[in-house]
Chains A and B, each alone.
Chain A
Amino acid sequence: MGLTVSSRANMIGWLQAAPLALVLGGFLVVPVIMIVVVSFWGATEWSIYPAFLFDNYEFLFTSWVTYSVFLKTFKYAFITWVLTLCIGFTVAYFLAFHVRNLSWQIALFLLCTIPFWTSNIIRMISWIPFLGRNGIANQTLISWGVIDEPMEWLLFSDFSVILAFVHLYTLFMVVPIFNSMMRIDRSLLEAAVDGGASGLQTLWNVVIPLCKPGIMIGTIFVVTLVMGDFITVRFMSGSQSANVGRLISNDIGLLLYPSACATAVVLLCTVLIVIAIFLRLVDIRKEL
């Protein structure tokens, strides 16, 4: 009797886990396995054929293009991370600690999410008329007499790429940090003041340590999004700059699927290693 009850409970447990397992298996695990398999295939100018070759990886690791592109990808990720962290932390701090009224907090928080009602690409492209050679920014600065000639580096440059990244992804930093901050017991801040901490000391010794899990979750979001991106880099750099995502997308455009897969595998491993390092630094489990 006891056995049947427990095996039945077991059965129910499996059934409950099945839908998510099927979705993840079908849409995540199987495609990743496919990518890994295809990354060992061979390709000619007009066809791809099943094989077990290391040619793709060999080409990848012996080409200086790979290293420079990876370096560029890390550079984008790092600069975007620093900026989104600074802006995101400040916004979250303002929302959590300076806006005392809950309904205002909710209203301002929703305001932050409104840009997300439009597509990524539209938000990106809308920078072009603003930043262009004869765009609003340059014309305004010229009319104010701040500059004499239009600034070329505003658009189709690393500046515009990072600007777009920051614009697109800051909210991914704001949300988890805000969430961490809202969980901080306000009496902890009073206890810090009671112990003689100044505003900055409270920030450094109490608020930031308690926000670490939120900062880490935001960091994972931003870093993975930036490292996996290709469209922002293409549009905002005017195809003058490349990151790993663009490398993959170019290979796909040339129907070089095995090569694209090999690059994808290397990128996936890189991102996983980066995340593994992050998780070693901060325990985010208590936040989930």
Chain B
Amino acid sequence: MSSWAQTKDLVKMQSDLELVHLTKRYDVALAVDAISHRFKPGGYACLLGPSGCGKTSTLRMIAGHETVTEGAVILQGRDISLMPPARRGTAMMFQNYALFPHLNIVDNVAFSLKMRGISRTERHAKAAEILRLVDMEKYRDRFPNQLSGGQQQRVALARALITRPQVLLLDEPLSALDPFLRIRMRAEMKKLQTELGISFIHVTHSQEEALALADEIIVMNDAKIEQAGSAQEVFNAPKTEFVARFLGGHNVIEVPAGRVAIRRDAMRLVSQSDALIQAQIIAVEYQGIHVLLTAKLLGGQEVTILLSDRDFFASPSQPGEAVGLSWDQTAVHSLSA
């Protein structure tokens, strides 16, 4: 464990990953369009976006499993975009884990050490150390098909970590798990990241997952970065309509000044005289902690209002009722596109 602690300190100072005009073109299709971003060192970053937005291509270019068409991937000040994957200082955990079915757990984890010609006893000892870290050392002699999904995931993590990478790349690591296990494993991954202090870059299409895990969210759409920032920043103050809609929780409405996003729970029902805008309630849905109201504005736009159950039942409204809506000006975020 002491060597891990040393690596941790070393890495915290140095793991500094930057993408510079990174571009990926397949024949004519543009998968990643000249994106530039500097990742926070030692942080948990999520690349978030719908399928086909270029997030996996970006990850695979960082890993070295996809050639870079243009631009550069810079880690600790050196351009790694032309290096073979194993020499980059990154390691990848694959979507379906890609464990070798013919090798037992300890040999799976020790694979990269074997490739480097490290002796059997030494590599098995190192593999056992990493397996202990993910709490899997008692399964060392099993084969991958004898493990559950969550256990396979831990082994895949161990295999990626054994090379002591500065950056761990995770391609939709939770998508193969059932919802219950997904929540448990994501807590474990966050814990592991904090313990090791190395950068994690995690590709996902689930905004819930990204919000729960990430120190930093990079929202991608259509081969470009829409917005990057801390989870709170990105959720709270979306800069584009896409981000507002993809992360959810916002109403996107047209006002004379242009399009704006307002959080659903930042809208209040007020008397018609105090209202910023008039609306008519169409539906009321009780959700326990919250009450979800759907209302139609005068122009025909629909908005969703999230009220706490206490606020709602203090003065309940019915579908069909005309109401006034109001919000604080600080809750309004104007959108660029």
Contact = CB atoms under 8 A, between A and B. Distances in A.
Contacts of A196: 84-87, 112, 115-116, 163
Contacts of B85: 193-194, 196
A197 B115 CA distance: 5
A192 interface: yes
Interface string A204-244: 01100110000000000000000000000000000000000
B115 A195 contact: yes
Contacts of B102: 209-210
B84 A192 contact: no
Interface residues of A, number: 17
A28 interface: no
A187 B94 contact: yes
A194 B86 contact: yes
8 contacts: A190-B92, A192-B100, A193-B84, A194-B65, A194-B92, A195-B112, A196-B85, A196-B87
A116 to B, nearest CB: 32
A108 interface: no
A195 B86 CA distance: 6
A252 interface: no
A199 B11 CA distance: 30
B24 interface: no
Contacts of A201: 115
A127 B14 CA distance: 68
Contact of B96 (A185, A197, A210): A185
Nearest to B169: A194
B319 interface: no
Interface string B159-197: 110010000000000000000000000000000000000
A201 B87 CA distance: 16
A-B interface, 10 closest residue pairs, ranked by CB to CB distance from nearest: A196-B86, A195-B112, A191-B98, A187-B98, A209-B102, A196-B115, A197-B115, A195-B111, A187-B94, A194-B85
Interface string A170-208: 000000000000000101101111111110010001100
B100 A206 contact: yes
Given A195-B115, A197-B112, A198-B115, 14 more contacts: A185-B96, A185-B98, A191-B100, A191-B111, A192-B111, A194-B65, A194-B86, A194-B92, A194-B112, A195-B86, A195-B163, A196-B85, A196-B86, A197-B115
Q: Kindly state the interface size class of chain B when it binds its partner.
A: 20 to 34
B84 A191 contact: no
B67 to A, nearest CB: 13
A96 B218 CA distance: 37
A196 B86 CA distance: 5
Given A185-B98, A196-B112, A190 B65 contact: yes
A191 B157 CA distance: 12
B114 interface: yes
A187 B96 contact: yes
Given A195-B86, A209-B102, A210-B102, A190 B112 contact: no
A198 B114 CA distance: 12
Given A195-B86, A195-B159, A196-B163, A190 B98 contact: yes
Contacts of B91: 194
B94 A191 contact: yes
A193 B86 contact: yes
B95 interface: yes
A6 to B, nearest CB: 33
A247 to B, nearest CB: 41
B303 interface: no
B63 interface: yes
B114 A188 contact: no
Contacts of A205: 111, 114-115
Interface in B284-335: none
A13 B84 CA distance: 57
Contacts of B94: 187, 190-191
